[in-house]
């Protein structure tokens, strides 16, 4: 990953105007756009927009000195010059150095401004920074490396996570979820009272029954 470089006598606007345009990888099935790690230029990414619109945007960040892929939601900056600001992508076990990212619509696609870096989180703080939101969807779960999807619970006293060793979800099954908990850089979907499945095992979903 290219590190930020100081350019003496060159303005930020000039850098943006002369930066190379990235050619992202476009998944025609999922609609995901992935910007390669080497296209991170001076803490921003400028890339062309593929035909068919933008469903999910993924790009690479510096996480404790290692390249890691993160993803954002659908970008809603539709007109040239519009900027969409949204929460920084979460990364399992890491904390972003900035709480939001800004994505600008350009004449050729989009530009990610101020690409965040990530530092290793402190597990002891995870329960203090966890967030919860309403989420109504029927999930399909799948574990690509095992026969079932493990479940976790959260302590009602401390809020800390623990494994549910006697409970699991079968691969390919559907489960109704009404909440998402974000905990230590990962999302968990609630499928029963204090039974949660990690987003690693999310294999698709549709609106509830």
Give me the CATH number covering residue 132: 2.30.30
Q: How many CB atoms lie under 10 A from the CB of residue 181? A: 19
Residues 74 and 163 in one domain: no
Domain that holds residue 93: 12-120
Residue after which a domain boundary falls, among 73, 97, 120: 120
What six digits make up the tokens of 158? 């401390």
Query: Is 1 inside a domain boundary?
Result: no
Cα–Cα–Cα angle for 178, 181, 182, rounded to 5 degrees: 145
Question: Do 48 and 128 have their domain in common?
Answer: no
Rounded to an integer, what distance in angstroms lies between the CA atom of residue 188 and that of residue 174? 15
C-alpha Rg value of the chain to the nearest Å: 19
Q: Of 63 and 36, which is predicted with more confidence?
A: 63
Q: How far apart are CA 155 and CA 142, in angstroms?
A: 25
Domain presence at residue 5:
no
The predicted structure's pLDDT at residue 105: 83
User: Do 110 and 129 reside in the same domain of the chain?
Assistant: no
Q: Let me know whether 16 and 116 are in one domain.
A: yes
| Most confident of the following: 1-15, 29-43, 44-58, 173-187 | 173-187
In a domain, 157, yes or no: yes
Domain count within the chain? 2
Confidence category of residue 3, pLDDT binned at 50, 70, 90: very low
Residues 141 and 185 in one domain: yes
In a domain, 7, yes or no: no
Task: Pick the last residue of a domain from 102, 120, 138.
Answer: 120
Would you state the pLDDT for residue 9? 32
Q: Are residues 103 and 146 in the same domain?
A: no
What the block records as the tokens of 108 is 């050729």
Question: Does one domain contain both 94 and 135?
Answer: no
């Amino acid at each position: 990953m290219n590190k930020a470089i100081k350019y003496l006598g060159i303005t930020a606007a000039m850098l943006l105007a002369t930066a190379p345009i990235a050619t992202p990888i476009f998944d025609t099935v999922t609609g995901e756009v992935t910007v390669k790690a080497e296209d991170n230029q001076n803490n921003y990414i400028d890339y062309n927009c593929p035909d068919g619109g933008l469903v999910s945007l993924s790009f690479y960040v510096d996480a404790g000195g290692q390249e890691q892929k993160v993803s954002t939601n659908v970008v809603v900056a539709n007109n040239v010059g519009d900027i969409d600001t949204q929460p920084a992508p979460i990364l399992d076990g890491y904390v972003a150095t900035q709480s939001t990212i800004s994505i600008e619509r350009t004449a050729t696609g989009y530009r990610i401004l101020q690409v965040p870096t990530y530092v290793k989180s402190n597990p002891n703080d995870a329960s203090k920074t966890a967030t919860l939101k309403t989420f109504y969807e029927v999930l399909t779960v799948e574990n690509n490396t095992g026969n079932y999807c493990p479940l976790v619970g959260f302590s009602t006293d401390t809020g800390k996570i623990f494994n549910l060793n006697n409970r699991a979800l079968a691969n390919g099954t559907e489960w109704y979820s009404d909440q998402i908990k974000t905990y230590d850089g990962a999302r968990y979907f609630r499928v029963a009272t204090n039974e949660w499945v990690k987003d690693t095992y999310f294999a698709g979903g549709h609106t509830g029954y």
